[in-house]
């Protein structure tokens, strides 16, 4: 897929920290329960750390106790790209930023959470930046 933001690998490496690069550009996962936004209750908008596109809002964030920030819906239906992921001997759905193609996490359905969509977007904190809502 062609993205609005495309950069050579060397530029991504220069702009992101090694940990950010590993998650965003190499589809890595940060360790559970250590992410900056796992337990935050701050209201605002979560954007892609790589390109700044708005991805999620605090209105759809919920407590899943899975170790990563969880959302039940992206900010806009076209904010994310969903891709089948058959790595690690399982079938999952990868979530990428539709603006730059960066890996954000995975989405799971039918887990029984009391959310309007019955989905859990399990997103790496390191893949996002939170802009707090203005009071």
Residues 125, 36: Cα–Cα separation, whole Å: 6
* 66 catalytically annotated: no
Burial 53-80 (b: 16+ CB within 10 A, else e): bbbbbbebbeebeeebbbbbbbbeeebb
Question: What token pair was written down for 53?
Answer: 């596109």
CB 127 within 8 A of CB 42: no
Q: How many CB atoms lie within 10 A of CB 31?
A: 9
Residue of 48, 97, 100, 122 with catalytic role: 122
The residues assigned a catalytic role are 122
């Amino acid at each position: 897929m062609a993205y609005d933001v495309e950069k050579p690998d060397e530029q991504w490496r220069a702009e992101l920290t090694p940990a950010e690069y590993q998650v965003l550009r190499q589809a890595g996962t940060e360790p559970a329960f250590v992410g900056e936004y796992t337990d935050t209750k701050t209201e605002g908008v979560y954007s892609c750390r790589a390109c700044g596109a708005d991805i999620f809002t605090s209105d759809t964030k919920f407590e899943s106790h899975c170790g990563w920030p969880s959302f039940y819906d992206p900010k806009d239906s076209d904010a994310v790209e969903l891709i089948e992921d058959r790595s690690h001997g399982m079938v999952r759905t990868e979530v990428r930023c539709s603006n730059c193609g960066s890996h954000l996490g995975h989405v799971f359905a039918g887990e029984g959470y009391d959310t309007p969509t019955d989905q859990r977007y399990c997103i790496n904190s390191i893949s996002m930046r939170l802009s707090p809502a203005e009071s």
